[in-house]
Amino acid sequence: MAEPKLRDLLPSTAEFRDAVFAGLSSDPKTLPTAYLYDETGARLFEAICTLDEYYPTRTEIAIMRDHAAAMARELGPRVRLVEPGAGALTKVRYLLAHLDDPVDFVPIDISIEQLENEARILAKEFPELPVHPVAADFTEAFALPPVDPPPARTVIYYPGSTIGNFLPEDQVAFLLRMRELIGSQGALLVGVDLYKDLSKLLPAYDDAAGVTAAFTKNLLARINRELDGTFDTGLFEHRASFEAEPSRVVLEAVSSVDQTVEVAGRSFHFAAGEAVRTEYSHKPTLEAFAKLAGTAGLLVRRVWTDEDDMFSVQLLEPAS
């Protein structure tokens, strides 16, 4: 078994600063979602995934447990599997256990500490599988490491409904980039959370224990740590709300007072009650997501769901 060798393509501090400047200068104020996942943020998100209120993780895991063998048959032998936003590599294990002679696994994540650790553990569990972790912001263009021998096809595995964190136009842009990476013979296996009753939906993003609130506020704390920010996290409250058009949950940090915050020498004013948006989570219908995928030149070939149709794992392939 070869020790996984990390490729570091992470954004620089200057890129982080510029993204924060742009977001805090916009109306409404926003912060880049990708930066939620530093070491602390990644740990908090893993805690969120275990909460009673947070249905997506356990529902998707059940789908993978029940249908990973069928997914592997659809994907075929000798695939190179790529997982953007890999996190703790929990769900991909179900797929790897059933794939026929995979030639490479490329986990990609912005949380470098977690990525190195989890890739090392997974390589021990699958000693015959080459593992090549890449530390990168996968929302930007990136190149895959070379693989020898070449795979029969490249498959992007993108679980967790992370695609719903993008704006619709950015979802299309992401799918277009993934289509380019996989080529004409490749495939994309993606987790898509579906629209459901708000009594089930909203508590998943505003849990009683306050873990999601801590996750949101950690981004403000990260700005303090890395960009000389002056956010007083005690003066911001976590809020989760639903926007019917375009069917999404919005996560925000809301200023409880009139205040001015500094970041890397620049000042940004918050009125009392003003929010900075940290994350979107879109919740489409199956029909709406198929239409969006078609805009990126991808066809939905198969869909696996739970018995209540709360969550889906969808197989997409290039339309031509």
CATH code linked to domain 55-196+286-318: 3.40.50.150
Q: What is the pLDDT of residue 11?
A: 72
Question: pLDDT tens digits, residue range 83-127?
Answer: 998 888 999 999 999 999 999 999 998 888 888 899 999 999 999
Q: What is the pLDDT of residue 235?
A: 98
Name the residue with higher pLDDT: 278 or 148: 278
Q: What is the pLDDT of residue 9?
A: 61
Question: pLDDT tens digits, residue range 152-189?
Answer: 999 999 998 899 999 999 999 999 999 999 999 999 99
* Residue found by looking up tokens 């960009």 in the block: 227
Partners of residue 80 on adjacent β-strands: 104, 154
pLDDT of 254 strictly over 80: yes
The helix (H) or strand (E) run that includes residue 29 is strand 29-30
The ranges assigned to domains in the chain are 12-33+209-282, 55-196+286-318
Instruction: Choose among 268, 267, 269, 273: nearest CA to 253.
Output: 273
Whether omega before 149 lies within 30 degrees of 0, making that bond cis, reads yes
- This prediction has a pTM of 0.90
Q: How confident is the model at residue 2 (pLDDT cuts 50, 70, 90)?
A: low
Contact 106, 133 (CB under 8 A): yes
pLDDT of 57 strictly over 80: yes
pLDDT of 280 strictly over 60: yes
Q: What is the pLDDT of residue 7?
A: 64
